Amino acid sequence: VSVSIKPAPTHSSASGGGSADLGREPNKVKPRSFRASDASALFGSMLAAAALVWLLFGVLLPVDNTAMASLAWMATFLLTYRFALKHTEGVLVARDRVMAVVVGALAAIVLAALTSIVIFVTVRGIKYLSTTFFTQTMEFTGPVDPSTEGGIAHALVGTLQQILLATLISVPLGVLTAVYLNEVGGRFSRSVRMFVNAMSGVPSIVAGLFIFATMNVGLGWSFSGFQAALALSILMLPTVTRTSEEILRLVPGGLREASLALGSTEWRSTWQVVLPTAKTGIVTAVILGVARVIGETAPLFMTAGGSPVMNANPFEGAQESLPLYIFRQVKQFSNEQTIPRGFAAALVLLVLVLVLFVTARAIARPKVERTGRKWRRRPRRSRTRGHRAGTSLASGTARGRRGAHRKPRLRRPSQRGAQRSTANPTSTEEEAL
Amino acid sequence: MGDLIFRGVARTAGFTVGFVLFLIGLFLLIRAIPALQSEGFSFLTTFEWTSETFGIGAILYWTVVIALVALVVAVPMAIAVALFIVEYAPPRLRKLFTSLIDLLAAVPSLIFGIWGFYYLQPKIIPLSRWLSERFSFIPIFASERGLFSSSAFIAGVVVSLMVLPITTAVIREVFSRVPPGEKEAALALGATRWGMIRTVVLPFGRGGIIGGAMLGLGRALGETIAVYIIISPIFTISPRILDLGANSIAAHIALRFGEAAADPQQLSGLMAAGLVLFLVTLGVNAVASVVVGRSRSAKGVEL
């Protein structure tokens, strides 16, 4: 089959509204991206490559290394595959198929890395999880005591208090900043947005160093959980701000206008209309912020300090935290007795992060669908006005209309809306989350 | 009246962010002054760190090397993952994959560190050995002692996984904005999917790729705990990335903090190192946002 006759193998899954339109035409030939002969080329090349690698690594020069062997197999496979396709389908198709395999393989490697992290920590950690591990502290357990002794109770308490305090500091500030960026606006909103972006790039150790420089060196305080909370809130703030801003942006302008038209002040319409509408989204923002900082270790060296005993007062005295605990057991003491304990604590931390992450998704999803339907209901009643506004929550029409009488602060959202209007509305929402 | 207060409060919150940033720079600078005065310009060029003389010459060098290794690994992977999500994956898988990449971003850096040290390192060492045996004529692959653990290369590979999510997010956002018309035009002219990607998607997304890479660079430079766990600190510079030993500003601060807490001069040196790190990451991020802001594709992409 020559290349020019063969339909482009890719069209069916190429994105965009255009191909969907084409799909509706009656005499459209549906191009298939994968045929029987392709399968034979693919699996044949895989087999050939496997045979060659086995011959090389297993028989001719025995090397006992799976990683190297699989790399070699991948390279051989790609070469064989390309060679086979070039002869049957031509060079263009060969290139296309080989690149598809390369892209898929790289994506699979990333996925494999993630899975291997989860599996590795689970396998190494699960053996030493026990109830006493959650109820004991390290007060009576030294570095050489057996792994079955000691626990993370003090670390859990410390982490909980520090995260709670950091949330109390950064969430009001972050949500207010988001409100400023999206609802109030003004001359400085561009620079504030810039600051938020810059802050999200601040290395975590610098945040810790800053708190140490101000609190310990400057004010003469000693380590405490509160200082850790301050350092963590610096790291949490940009996440909370940016996620809540994305959420506020999805609140339809019509709601704001209706509230303002009924005579409420800007403050009331923000507090009673905009924020309640975005409530679950803001909860998501908080959870993502917590997930961002719960595993932070570096700033805690300089702020919480770490301690083997229970300290339930975050405002006084050095306090332990889960990441510090793991770090100390695995890296600092680093012997056969402490490392398993560290891995068990790492498993607890990983599970916490996973739970937070899944919760954030679970909270975000139904809300988006529900509101999506609610807003979409309107166009059915009056097709002319609400139609576009209903199709895309963040879309240009609603924003644009709002922009007509309140230009300066709305320039940005309307731009975004216009750019995004091609995208599927639900996917736009979920990207924002 | 109420509105004035409301606006005022919101504006104050917004400015607090900028104020905190300013304070970070200011306080680090104040605390760094004693060290900068005693060391002068040689703070940036000295290759040792004792309580008398110290400088970040070698540390800065290795910080950049680790970050570059991370980028060399992460950027092609990020492009591939973004292409996979936007162009190749079926719609259902697309969402799942995006979530999984976000999950990768949520994994704490400490866990990357212990995974890298205990799991990945034994797997990478044979590769390092093979590279150094076959390609020792290339300076970066040469090896002096034949010890391949705790190297800049391993640290870079682990850090690459940590910068991957943010780089992928920017690139994916840009790729998903490629005008469908241009893609369909390429396909209609007979291009294969790869031909379309090469001629339309990649050129359109160039700004986003560069911006995402820079953003990843900013993250990689500031990575602390994973690097700390993996590397074994050295104070000389060499091009041999596979060899035992490397360093990084952030890891160095974490490592020396304990002993420096009782030594004001050394503490001041660490503050100065922190200041340098802060300024470098700010600079890199600023350049990233300028690059992204200027390109046709990435206008309006949030960094």
What value, to the nearest 5°, has the Cα angle with vertex A156 and ends A305 and A151? 90
Average pLDDT for chain A: 77
Mean pLDDT of all residues in A307-332:
87
Going by pLDDT thresholds of 50, 70 and 90, the confidence category of residue A6 is: very low
Nearest Cα residue in chain A from B19: A195
* Among chain B residues, CA nearest to A216: B261
A221 touches chain B (CB under 8 A): no
The Cα A333–Cα A144 span in angstroms is 9
Residue B150 has pLDDT above 70, yes or no: yes
B10 close to A (CB below 8 A): yes
Mean pLDDT of A41-60: 83
Interchain contact B289–A (C-beta under 8 A): yes
Instruction: Select the residue of A3, A4, A196 nearest B17 (Cβ to Cβ).
Output: A196
The pLDDT confidence band at residue B4, using thresholds 50, 70 and 90, is confident
C-alpha–C-alpha distance, residues B33 and B216, integer Å: 30
Mutation choice for A interface testing from B16, B17, B109, B301 by most A CBs within 10 A:
B17
With beta carbons under 8 A apart, name residues in chain B contacting A170: none
Half-sphere exposure of B179 (CA within 13 A, CB side): 7
pLDDT at residue B134, as a whole number: 83
pLDDT in tens, B52-77: 788 888 899 999 999 999 999 999 99
Residues of A in contact with B18 (CB under 8 A): 191-192, 195
Backbone phi and psi for residue B54, each to the nearest 5 degrees, phi listed first: -150, 155
Query: How confident is the model over B251-286, as pLDDT tens digits?
Result: 999 988 888 877 888 888 899 999 999 999 999 998
The fraction of chain B above a pLDDT of 90, given in percent, is 45
* Residue B145 token pair: 């002692």
**pLDDT value at residue A390:** 37
First to last CA, chain A: 46
Instruction: Specify the higher pLDDT residue, A69 or B303.
Output: A69
Q: Please provide the distance, in angstroms rounded to a whole number, between the alpha carbons at the two ends of chain B.
A: 36
pLDDT in tens, A76-88: 888 888 888 888 8
Q: Do A201 and B181 touch (CB under 8 A)?
A: no
Which of A1, A10, A82, A223 best tests the B interface by mutation, with the highest count of B CBs <10 A?
A: A10
Lookup: tokens for A356: 């937070």
Q: For chains A and B, what is the number of CB pairs under 8 angstroms?
A: 312
Distance from CA of B134 to the nearest CA of A (A): 14
Q: Tens digits of per-residue pLDDT, A121-172?
A: 999 989 888 888 888 888 888 777 887 788 889 999 999 999 999 999 999 9
| pLDDT of amino acid B297 | 62
The arithmetic mean of pLDDT across residues B159-163, rounded, is: 94
Of residues A407 and B156, more confidence is placed in B156
Q: What is the mean pLDDT of residues B208-218?
A: 91
Q: What is the pLDDT of residues A185-242, one digit of tens each?
A: 878 888 888 889 889 889 999 999 999 888 887 788 888 889 999 999 999 999 999 9
Closest-CA distance, B73 to chain A, in angstroms, reads 11
Which residue out of B86, B101, B178, B194 would a mutagenesis test of the A interface target, given it has the greatest number of A Cβ atoms within 10 Å? B194
Instruction: For residue A103, give the nearest of B11, B80, B126 by CB distance.
Output: B80
**Taking a C-beta distance cutoff of 8 angstroms, is the pair B263, B135 a contact?**
no
Residue A121 and residue A417: Cα distance in Å, rounded?
42
Answer whether B104 touches A (CB < 8 Å).
yes
The mean pLDDT value for A86-107 works out to 88
Q: Do B181 and A18 touch (CB under 8 A)?
A: yes
Q: How far apart are CA A44 and CA A292, in angstroms?
A: 45
Calculate how close chain B gets to A287, using CA atoms only, in Å.
11
Residue A368: predicted pLDDT: 44
DSSP state, residue B43: G
Of residues A65 and A250, more confidently modeled: A250
CA distance A293 to A299: 10
pLDDT one-digit tens code per residue, B82-131: 999 998 988 888 888 999 998 998 899 999 999 999 999 998 888 888 88
- Token pair, residue A251, equals 């609140």
Q: Is B84 on the interface with A (CB under 8 A)?
A: yes
- CB contacts under 8 A, B 160-179 vs A, are 161, 164, 173, 176-177, 179
Distance from CA of A19 to the nearest CA of B (A): 8
Length of chain B: 303
- Percent helix, strand and coil across chain A, each to the nearest 5: 75, 0, 25
Average the pLDDT over A370-380 and give the result.
44
- Residues of chain B positioned with their CB less than 8 A from the CB of A120: 115, 118-119
Decide if pLDDT at A391 tops 70: no
Partners of A180 on chain B (C-beta within 8 Å) are 10-11, 13-14
In chain B, the residue whose alpha carbon lies closest to the alpha carbon of A430 is: B95
B83 touches chain A (CB under 8 A): yes
- A123 at the B interface (CB within 8 A)? no
pLDDT value for B109: 92
B37 pLDDT tier (thresholds 50, 70, 90): confident
pLDDT at A32: 55
Q: Which two tokens stand for residue B88?
A: 């190749």
The pLDDT value given to residue B201: 92
Confidence of residue A365 (pLDDT cuts 50, 70, 90): low
A295 with B108: Cβ contact below 8 A: yes
CB A196 within 8 Å of CB B17 = yes
Local structure of A348: helix, strand or coil: helix
pLDDT category at B155 given cuts 50, 70, 90 is: very high
| Residues of chain B with C-beta less than 8 angstroms from the C-beta of A4 | 190
User: pLDDT: is A293 or A423 the higher one?
Assistant: A293
For A235-247, write each residue's pLDDT tens digit: 999 999 999 998 8
pLDDT value at residue B298? 57
Q: Are residues B211 and B219 in contact, defined by beta-carbon separation less than 8 angstroms?
A: no
Q: For residues A363 and A281, is the Cβ–Cβ distance under 8 A?
A: no
How confident is the model at residue A26, as a pLDDT?
Answer: 52
